[in-house]
Amino acid sequence: MSNSAKSALTHKSALTHKSALTQTRRVLKTALVAVAGFSIIVNLLVLALPLYSLQIFDRVLSSRSIETLLALTVVTIGLLALQAALDHVRGSVLRRVALRVETSLTGPVLRASLDDGSRGNPHADSGLRDLREVRTAIASPSLSALFDLPMTPFFVLVVFLIHPILGVFVIAAIALLAVLTGTHVLAARRPQDDDARAALKAGEAVQDYVRHAEAIQALGMGDAVERRWRGQNTRLLALDAILAGRVGAVLSLTKFVRMAVQVGITGLGASLALDGAITPGAMIASSLLMSRALAPVEQAVGGWKSWTSAAAAARRLIAGLRGVEEPANVVTLPAPKGNVEVTDLVYRPPGAEDAVLRGVSLRLAAGHSLAIVGPSGSGKSTLMRLIAGVWSASSGEIRIDGAELGQWKRGSLGRHVGYLPQSVQLLSGTIAENISRLEENPDSADIIAAARAAGVHELILRLPQGYGTVIGEGGYQLSGGQKQRIGLARALYGDPRLVILDEPNSNLDPEGEAALIDALQTCREAGRTIILVSHRPALLRSVDWIVVLRDGLIERAGARNELMRSFATPEDVSQQGSAPAARAAG
């Protein structure tokens, strides 16, 4: 696929993401209006059974007419069949729109989750869970009760028409169930919130234990971890028991009240029938109508938890999607040459008082290379993430070929950037898929060229299935050095003009480091701009400029030979005294 075609595809995708929430709302609104229409017809057809009972008791039994009985039965069965069919259609519409909602929002929500994940948010995947919860709630049959609830006054009115005393009884029963519903909500609200927080903490703890299983086993921490987990899990189970006890008590009381009022209206109707105020058929009809009037209220008692949870998930989704910033520029910029300009860059982590970077400025011309050195915690990796567009600066600006970073569409710029993070994570799939950045129908020659440029082609050929070796969960386990070298090949895939490498030799053996130095030389010969973090002299000799960071400020900056002479080894940077901030230019 050509670069212009890829850019057009990315542009179309960005527009789709921008309008996905609006389109989903429009589709959902249309579907819900249709469901409301079906619900009105379905609830009107509910009258078929009470009317059938009324006619049977008041006309058929007195006239002893088999023809009337047969006609009423056939018509009623037909109406009930129509009701069932429309009810099925209503459910089908809800299931289809639920699927449409998830299909439309999956892409944007995943993008938002990736943005959150790149900023270090441990709950970045919650957006996809929220989306599934919303889809499940929309497709749930219990949602139909919300559309049946507005028809409750209609059934109450019909009961009033049969006899006012019966109508008042039904209203009292509905009020009692409403009070029980409110009691249900109040009784479970705090235990539910506490239970949710405890479950979240327990889940995070398990993930943390599994992630550090190697250290836990090697250091003999298994018993301590088990003891701590038992304490956390015991508290969680206690909260579950409290919540289940309160909810169960209210549900049992609600069920009792529901059956009691059914007995009550039957007895009241029989009393009125004995006094001649209503007919026996009206007594049966009123009982059926009350049952229908109370059904949505009773379903609300049982379904409020899932509905409120889904509503909260929907609010989080909307807030998350609104928080995703997209470039205001609708024009796809041309492929960059690699000029980088950083001006007064400040980065303050969310919730932190102190800034990690405090007014960093530097310039690097296309085709030149820069090494960033400094003690731990000086802001080196933060600066790399900001230049790569992984994080957003608190203030200041970063420009690539004169365009501020926010003007570039992420997918468009990303194809021209080779980024190797300090902690290399490869995706589940084949090595070829990882190197090609999961590109659809990649050219094998480009994959091999990137592997050769990273000096990892021969290493890959020695793996069980070569480029087709599956890695990740359940696949072939690579060493840290192998991951780093394949990650370098991924960074060099597609002829990137800007190569950003954060500690690219942290896990490499001498052979891997020699291959890395050759890769850097190849990048320089190809005119690529290189920015790397390293302290090893062998790599520093491969760059044109060096910047020394300390406490979020540029302490020194200059040509490679000039700065390497100023300290015996790069590690000595941490022992140097403070100096005025400088600007690197190339």
- Residue 9 falls inside a structural domain: no
Q: Report the SS3 class of residue 549.
A: strand
One domain for residues 395 and 313: no
One domain for residues 70 and 130: yes
- Residue 333 falls inside a structural domain: no
Averaged pLDDT score across all residues of the chain: 81
- What does the alpha-carbon distance between residue 515 and residue 455 come to, in Å, rounded to a whole number? 5
CA 106 to each of CA 112, 136, 220, 310, 320: distance values in angstroms, whole numbers, following the listed order: 10, 14, 42, 16, 13
Q: In the chain, how many domains are there?
A: 2
pLDDT of 242 reads 73
pLDDT of 580 reads 32
- Tell whether the model's pLDDT for residue 491 goes beyond 80: yes
Tokens 């049969």 identify what position? 162
Phi and psi dihedrals of 73, rounded to 5? -65, -45
**How do residues 212-239 score in pLDDT, each as one tens digit?**
776 777 777 777 877 877 787 787 777 7
CATH of the domain at 551: 3.40.50.300
Instruction: Pick the last residue of a domain from 287, 322, 357.
Output: 322
Q: Return the ∠ at Cα 44 (arms to 42 and 45), rounded to 5°.
A: 65
- Residue 125 falls inside a structural domain: yes
- What does the alpha-carbon distance between residue 378 and residue 376 come to, in Å, rounded to a whole number? 6
CA 504 to each of CA 132, 385, 443, 516, 543: distance values in angstroms, whole numbers, following the listed order: 38, 14, 26, 8, 14
Range name among 71-75, 351-355, 414-418 with the lowest pLDDT average: 351-355
One domain for residues 390 and 306: no
- What does the alpha-carbon distance between residue 276 and residue 533 come to, in Å, rounded to a whole number? 95
Measured N-to-C along each axis, helices 48-55 and 280-322 cross at an angle, to the nearest 10 degrees, of 180
- Tell whether the model's pLDDT for residue 454 goes beyond 50: yes
Phi and psi dihedrals of 224, rounded to 5? -65, -40
Range with top average pLDDT, 179-183, 250-254, 284-288: 284-288
pLDDT of 121 reads 59
DSSP structure string for 416-466: TEEEE-SS--PPSEEHHHHHTTT-SS--HHHHHHHHHHTT-HHHHHTSTTG
**Average pLDDT for residues 2-19, to the nearest whole number?**
43
- The tokens of 109 are what? 């929500």
CA 29 to each of CA 18, 158, 433, 537: distance values in angstroms, whole numbers, following the listed order: 19, 30, 40, 63
**How do residues 141-174 score in pLDDT, each as one tens digit?**
778 778 888 888 888 898 888 889 988 988 888 8
Name the region of 59 (left: φ>0; alpha: ψ -120 to 50; beta: rest): alpha
- Residue 96 falls inside a structural domain: yes
Buried b (16+ CB within 10 A) or exposed e, 360-393: bbbbbebbbbbbbbbbeebbbbbbbbbbbbbbeb
Instruction: Pick the last residue of a domain from 264, 292, 322.
Output: 322
One domain for residues 285 and 409: no
One domain for residues 182 and 143: yes
- What does the alpha-carbon distance between residue 558 and residue 582 come to, in Å, rounded to a whole number? 9
Environment class of 356 (CB within 10 Å of its CB; exposed 0-12, middle 13-18, buried 19+): buried
- The tokens of 484 are what? 């780093």
pLDDT of 584 reads 42
**Average pLDDT for residues 532-549, to the nearest whole number?**
88
Cβ–Cβ under 8 Å, residues 503 and 422: yes
Query: What range defines the domain where residue 564 resides?
Result: 340-425+493-575
Confidence of residue 574 (pLDDT cuts 50, 70, 90): very low
Instruction: Pick the last residue of a domain from 290, 322, 354.
Output: 322
- What does the alpha-carbon distance between residue 414 and residue 427 come to, in Å, rounded to a whole number? 17
What's at 438, amino acid-wise?
L
* 468 Cβ neighbours under 8 A, 6+ residues apart: 430, 431, 432
CATH of the domain at 133: 1.20.1560.10
Percent of the chain with pLDDT over 70: 84
Buried b (16+ CB within 10 A) or exposed e, 490-512: bbbbbebbbbbbbbbbebbeeeb
Number of CB atoms found within 10 A of residue 301's CB: 24
- Residue 458 falls inside a structural domain: no
Q: Report the SS3 class of residue 530.
A: strand
Confidence of residue 548 (pLDDT cuts 50, 70, 90): very high
Cβ–Cβ under 8 Å, residues 486 and 434: yes
If one compares 577 and 33, the residue with the highest pLDDT of the two is 33
Confidence of residue 499 (pLDDT cuts 50, 70, 90): very high
- Residue 430 falls inside a structural domain: no
Number of CB atoms found within 10 A of residue 140's CB: 18
One domain for residues 99 and 247: yes
Range with top average pLDDT, 111-120, 271-280, 292-301: 271-280
- Tell whether the model's pLDDT for residue 295 goes beyond 70: yes
Which of 468, 474, 458 lies closest to 430, judged by CA?
Answer: 468
One domain for residues 123 and 270: yes
**How do residues 342-389 score in pLDDT, each as one tens digit?**
999 999 988 788 899 999 999 999 999 999 998 888 999 999 999 988
- Residue 466 falls inside a structural domain: no
- The tokens of 32 are what? 């819900």
Percent of the chain with pLDDT over 90: 22
- Residue 511 falls inside a structural domain: yes
- What does the alpha-carbon distance between residue 120 and residue 395 come to, in Å, rounded to a whole number? 19
pLDDT of 12 reads 41
pLDDT of 248 reads 73
One domain for residues 128 and 188: yes
Phi and psi dihedrals of 337, rounded to 5? -90, -25
One domain for residues 128 and 57: yes
- The tokens of 432 are what? 């070829």
DSSP structural state of residue 474: T
pLDDT of 456 reads 92
Range name among 10-24, 262-276, 346-360 with the lowest pLDDT average: 10-24
In the sheet with 498-502, reading across from the earlier edge strand, the strands are 417-420, 498-502, 529-533, 369-373, 545-550, 553-559
* 427 Cβ neighbours under 8 A, 6+ residues apart: 433, 434, 438, 472
- What does the alpha-carbon distance between residue 556 and residue 360 come to, in Å, rounded to a whole number? 11
pLDDT of 10 reads 39
Phi and psi dihedrals of 212, rounded to 5? -110, 30
Query: What does DSSP say about strands 498-502 and 417-420: parallel, antiparallel, or unpaired?
Result: parallel
- Tell whether the model's pLDDT for residue 290 goes beyond 70: yes
Query: What does DSSP say about strands 369-373 and 529-533: parallel, antiparallel, or unpaired?
Result: parallel
pLDDT of 578 reads 34
One domain for residues 396 and 521: yes
- Tell whether the model's pLDDT for residue 301 goes beyond 80: no
One domain for residues 282 and 399: no
One domain for residues 168 and 311: yes
pTM beyond 0.75 = no
DSSP structural state of residue 46: T
- Tell whether the model's pLDDT for residue 3 goes beyond 50: no
